[in-house]
Amino acid sequence: MLRTLFLVLNIGSALLLALTYIIPYLNPLEIRKIPLLGLFYPILILTNILFIAGWAFTKTNRQYALLSLVAILLGIQHLGAIIGTSYFNTPVVPIADGTTISSYNVKNFDYIAIENRQFQPDAVKNIIEHLGDSQYLCAQEVDYNSRMMLVKELQFPHSFGNKGTMIFSRVPFIKTGQVTFENSINSCSWVDVPVKDKIVRLYNVHLESNHITNAAAVMINQKEHNFIERVYLLKNMFVQYAYRSRKRVQQTDKLLQHISESPYPVIVCGDFNDSPISYIYNKFTRQLTDGFTEQGKGLGFSFRGNIPFLRIDYILADDRLHFQNYQTVKALTYSDHFPVTADISMP
């Protein structure tokens, strides 16, 4: 009986994992009930690995481990988007010919705010230590206080942005602009910046938020909710995700059109609010290279909220640029996101 239950759960887990592989090809504008499943791809990978380990310890049923093994191998190309394997990569060209760029959803630095526009000194010092070498910083969810802190403490004399997406720089901008998202509090700012003796267009984007983490927190923390109430909360999460996914597709299409008209090589930083197992990510990576897949190391999750192991913060670049290094800075826990940083060069 126990073996049968274990087998049924294994089959279900393997099927769910296999289903995630079609999500990057399902347009939310055409398929309205797009599954939320892509957000749980890392959890499904882990679950299937545990099933493989479980069957391996049995004496007579080890063949059932093939269920999860095959499910994982069918989508092996997706693993590189959440697990970085670039431990032995060497720089393409010296970093002296490039620049360092960071992206960070700071959530207004609410986690380290004290009062009267002041922030915890130790936290500020830690931020300077880990992001102080950045030539450019793309920050999301930036209010006036957090903007002034970054300008003052990290000594970024130049900044530009709107509706919470700010680009900070140590050198003057050549040109600035925005990609407007209608009927949204989210936004995208762009600047033309010098990289050595050339010009690069740098985008900072915050795509439509999902508004599902609060529901996830309630499901996890409120033990008094019964089964029906939890099913209702889960249904609402699916509805919210589907609606917000459609808005992200529209925003992505508009941004990619703008990118296609850029006279310069482009770098795109930001909080996409979607995982690598998504239609959005698939659209971006058809045109741009993901820095994590090129130079990332280890687990690349960047979200610290109630849905674990999510990578939703990115630095992408077109193929005229080269990633020399990519890091998720997990030492900075002053938001519900980790910052990501990359060294990028232009030969």
- The candidate with the shortest Cα–Cα distance to 208, out of 256, 247, 252, is 247
Sign of CA dihedral 307, 292, 336, 184: negative
Phi and psi of 59, rounded to 5°?
-95, -30
Cα–Cα distance measured from residue 107 to residue 109, given in angstroms and rounded to the nearest whole number: 5
Q: What residues contact residue 237 under an 8 Å CB cut-off, 6+ apart?
A: 36, 212, 215, 216
| pLDDT reported for residue 230 | 64
Question: Rounded to an integer, what distance in angstroms lies between the CA atom of residue 37 and that of residue 78?
Answer: 14
Could you read off the pLDDT of 94-104 as tens digits, one per residue? Answer: 455 679 999 99
Q: Give pLDDT tens digits along the chain (347 positions).
A: 777 888 889 999 999 999 999 999 999 888 876 667 888 889 999 999 999 998 888 878 888 889 999 999 999 989 888 888 876 665 554 455 679 999 999 999 999 988 877 899 999 999 999 999 999 999 999 999 999 999 989 999 999 998 899 999 999 999 999 999 988 899 999 999 998 888 999 999 999 987 666 555 555 555 555 667 666 666 777 777 888 889 999 999 999 999 999 999 999 999 999 999 999 999 999 999 999 999 998 888 999 877 778 899 999 999 999 999 999 999 999 999 999 999 998 87
Give the Cα separation of 341 and 295 in Å (integer): 11
Q: Is 202 helix (H, G, I), strand (E, B) or coil?
A: strand
Q: Coil, strand or helix: which one is 181?
A: coil
Distance CA 142, CA 105 (A): 8
Look up residue 311 and give its two tokens: 């990578």
For 90-122, letters b (16+ CB in 10 Å) and e give eebeeeebbbbbbbbbbbbbeebbeeeeebeee
DSSP string, 282-342: HHHHHHSEEHHHHH-EEE---B-SSSTT---EEEEE-TTSEEEEEEE-TT--SSSB--EEE
Q: Of 318, 313, 308, 327, which is closest to residue 288 (Cα–Cα)?
A: 318
C-alpha to C-alpha distances, 346 to 120, 130, 194, nearest whole angstrom: 37, 23, 11
In the chain, domain spans: 2-79, 88-211+238-345
C-alpha pair distances (Å), 272 with each of 192, 269, 319: 21, 9, 20
pTM of the predicted protein model: 0.90
Quote the pLDDT of residue 274. 92
Q: Of 81, 165, 95, which is closest to residue 134 (Cα–Cα)?
A: 95
Length of the chain as a residue count = 347
Structure tokens at 36: 């939320």
Planar angle of CA 256, 258, 261, nearest 5 degrees: 110
pLDDT of residue 24: 92
**Which fold is adopted by the domain 88-211+238-345?**
Deoxyribonuclease I; Chain A (3.60.10)
Percent of the chain with pLDDT over 90: 60
Bridge partner list, 216: none
The pLDDT assigned to 215 comes to 57
Residue type, 102: S
Contact between residue 313 and residue 304 where contact means Cβ atoms under 8 Å apart: no
